[in-house]
């Protein structure tokens, strides 16, 4: 496994590469001189940043398209209105992260830590949460579709009482999820 400084360099390289592809080299060069916590809002991530430390980062509206962020730390990250499509966050730590209004489709959150994370208003479709820890996570107005939560840890009925389902959602024994209202 790479040393922490090498992982940080690799993460920064992934971010800079994504920005260069989106907005040309001047945008990527400008980012290299910005404080570490400031990342532009119009960002798409692909590729791999395994084990990266993105704790406290401001990434509202970012798009993670097939990106591999497995084992990464996103503690306290602002991930409001992000799009996780086919992204891998297995084993990642999203403790206290704000995923309000996120669109999560086909993403892997197996063994992820979502302790005290906010998933309020998130639309979660076909994502995997095997062994994910939902201790204290807020799911207010979250909508689940085609998700298997049956092996999620620390998921409580009180959390699910504020969420809803569209179609089939597998839950741990004894827990229920109301259907989402039809508009």
pLDDT value for 182: 83
Q: How far apart are CA 123 and CA 14, in angstroms?
A: 27
pLDDT in tens, the chain (183 residues): 444 443 333 344 344 333 333 333 222 222 333 344 444 444 566 788 899 999 999 999 998 899 999 999 999 999 999 999 999 999 999 999 999 999 999 999 999 999 999 999 999 999 999 999 999 999 999 999 999 999 999 999 999 999 999 989 999 999 999 999 986
Mapped onto helix, strand or coil, the DSSP state of residue 176 is coil
Q: Which value, in Å, is the radius of gyration of the alpha carbons in the chain?
A: 16
pLDDT value for 32: 30
Number of CB atoms found within 10 A of residue 83's CB: 18
Detail the DSSP E strand segments found in 6-76.
44-45, 63-65
Task: Tell me the pTM.
Answer: 0.76
Q: Residue 90: how many CA atoms within 13 Å on its side-chain side? A: 12
Q: How far apart are CA 18 and CA 4, in angstroms?
A: 21
Q: How far apart are CA 94 and CA 173, in angstroms?
A: 25
Instruction: State the DSSP string of 30-49.
Output: HHHTS-TTB--SS-EE-SB-
Structure tokens at 56: 């406290």
């Amino acid at each position: 496994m790479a040393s922490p400084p090498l992982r940080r360099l690799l993460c920064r390289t992934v971010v800079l590469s994504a920005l260069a592809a989106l907005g040309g080299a001047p945008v990527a060069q400008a980012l290299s001189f910005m404080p570490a916590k400031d990342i532009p809002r119009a960002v798409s991530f692909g590729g791999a940043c395994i084990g990266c430390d993105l704790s406290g980062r401001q990434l509202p509206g970012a798009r993670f398209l097939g990106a591999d962020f497995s084992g990464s730390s996103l503690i306290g990250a602002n991930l409001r209105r992000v799009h996780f499509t086919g992204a891998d966050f297995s084993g990642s730590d999203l403790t206290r992260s704000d995923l309000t209004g996120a669109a999560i489709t086909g993403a892997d959150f197996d063994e992820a830590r979502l302790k005290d994370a906010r998933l309020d208003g998130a639309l979660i479709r076909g994502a995997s949460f095997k062994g994910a820890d939902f201790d204290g996570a807020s799911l207010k107005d979250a909508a689940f579709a085609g998700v298997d939560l049956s092996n999620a840890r620390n998921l409580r009925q009180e959390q699910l009482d504020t969420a809803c389902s569209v179609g089939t959602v597998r839950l741990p024994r004894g827990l229920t999820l109301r259907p989402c209202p039809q508009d």
